[in-house]
């Protein structure tokens, strides 16, 4: 999968945020967008994932022009967006969070917990994550909640994962784990694009 953004423009009122920005993300690449607050990093990624619409410019998916209508549309096309405010339901278990809204169903509309557990355990083993599926998400550290978000994206077959300030609330040891996972994902052909403040630590 290759995503290209060509000559992207975006203004909010009289504030020109993006002026002719180009970006290309190829398979198994890691990109870091760095800059001061207000530099347009977040705006560019929100245009890519359908949160905003560009005033001008083109987005290409494998050479075909696309315009994602919203984040769900982007997700269905292999692009996951993990925002700084994590989309985790604290009173649900890890397993319930992983499959929320995408539950496996067997005959007569019953939830297929056995299949979901099997798929979740296989993914966690692949990522070398030690997270109990029955644990409430609220009991996880911020770092493990972030790993849960990444796992949710992979469950939906994401090929590109975009992360907003992923190191901001993490300890040094959690940052190390995050970078290990990013390298692991890269080796599996997944692309990662993170955006950070200009002094983004440890990246």
- List average pLDDT for each run of 10 residues in the chain, which is 203 residues long: 94 97 97 90 95 97 94 94 94 98 92 97 95 98 96 96 93 94 95 81 55
Contact status, residue 86 vs residue 64, Cβ threshold 8 Å: no
Question: Can you tell me whether residue 25 is helix, strand or coil?
Answer: strand
Q: Is residue 65 included in any domain, yes or no?
A: yes
**β-strand pairing of 79-82 with 160-164:** parallel
The pLDDT, as a whole number, for residue 61 is 95
Q: Is residue 202 included in any domain, yes or no?
A: no
Report the alpha-carbon angle 96-76-9, nearest 5.
120
Number of domains in the chain: 1
CA dist., res. 42 & res. 164, Å (int):
7
The pLDDT, as a whole number, for residue 38 is 85
Residue 114 backbone phi and psi in degrees, to 5: -60, -45
Instruction: Give the full edge-to-edge strand order of the sheet including 79-82.
Output: 30-35, 191-197, 160-164, 79-82
Q: Is residue 104 included in any domain, yes or no?
A: yes
CA dist., res. 184 & res. 41, Å (int):
25
Domain ranges, residue 135: 3-197
Question: Can you tell me whether residue 72 is helix, strand or coil?
Answer: helix
CATH number of the domain residue 67 falls in? 3.40.50.300
The pLDDT, as a whole number, for residue 74 is 95
Q: Is residue 203 included in any domain, yes or no?
A: no
The pLDDT, as a whole number, for residue 87 is 94
Q: Is residue 111 included in any domain, yes or no?
A: yes
Q: Is residue 135 included in any domain, yes or no?
A: yes
CA dihedral 47, 76, 28, 85 (to 10 degrees): 60
Please say whether the dihedral angle defined by the alpha carbons of residues 101, 168, 24 and 57, taken in this order, is positive or negative.
Answer: positive
Q: Which residues pair with 35 in a beta bridge?
A: 197
Q: Is residue 128 included in any domain, yes or no?
A: yes
Contact status, residue 162 vs residue 79, Cβ threshold 8 Å: yes
The pLDDT, as a whole number, for residue 202 is 55
Q: Is residue 162 included in any domain, yes or no?
A: yes
CA dist., res. 96 & res. 113, Å (int):
9
The pLDDT, as a whole number, for residue 198 is 59
The pLDDT, as a whole number, for residue 37 is 85
The pLDDT, as a whole number, for residue 201 is 54
Does this model's pTM top 0.85? yes
């Amino acid at each position: 999968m290759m995503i290209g953004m060509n000559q992207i423009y975006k203004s909010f009122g009289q504030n020109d945020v993006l002026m002719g920005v180009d970006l290309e993300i190829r398979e198994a690449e890691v990109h870091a967008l760095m800059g001061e607050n207000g530099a347009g990093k977040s705006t560019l990624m929100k245009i890519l994932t359908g949160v905003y619409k560009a005033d001008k410019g083109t987005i290409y998916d494998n050479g075909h022009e696309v315009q994602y209508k919203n984040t769900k549309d982007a997700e269905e096309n292999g692009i996951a967006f993990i925002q700084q405010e994590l989309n985790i339901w604290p009173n649900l278990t890890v397993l319930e969070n992983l499959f929320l809204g995408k539950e496996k169903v067997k005959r007569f509309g019953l939830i297929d917990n056995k299949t979901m557990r099997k798929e979740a355990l296989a993914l966690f083993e692949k990522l070398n994550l030690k997270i109990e599926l029955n644990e409430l998400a609220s009991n996880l550290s911020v770092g493990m909640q972030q790993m849960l978000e990444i796992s949710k994206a992979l469950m939906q077959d994401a090929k590109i994962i975009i992360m907003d300030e992923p190191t901001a609330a993490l300890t040094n040891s959690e940052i190390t784990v995050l970078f290990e996972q990013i390298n692991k994902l890269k080796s599996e052909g997944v692309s990662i694009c993170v955006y950070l403040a200009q002094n983004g630590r440890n990246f």
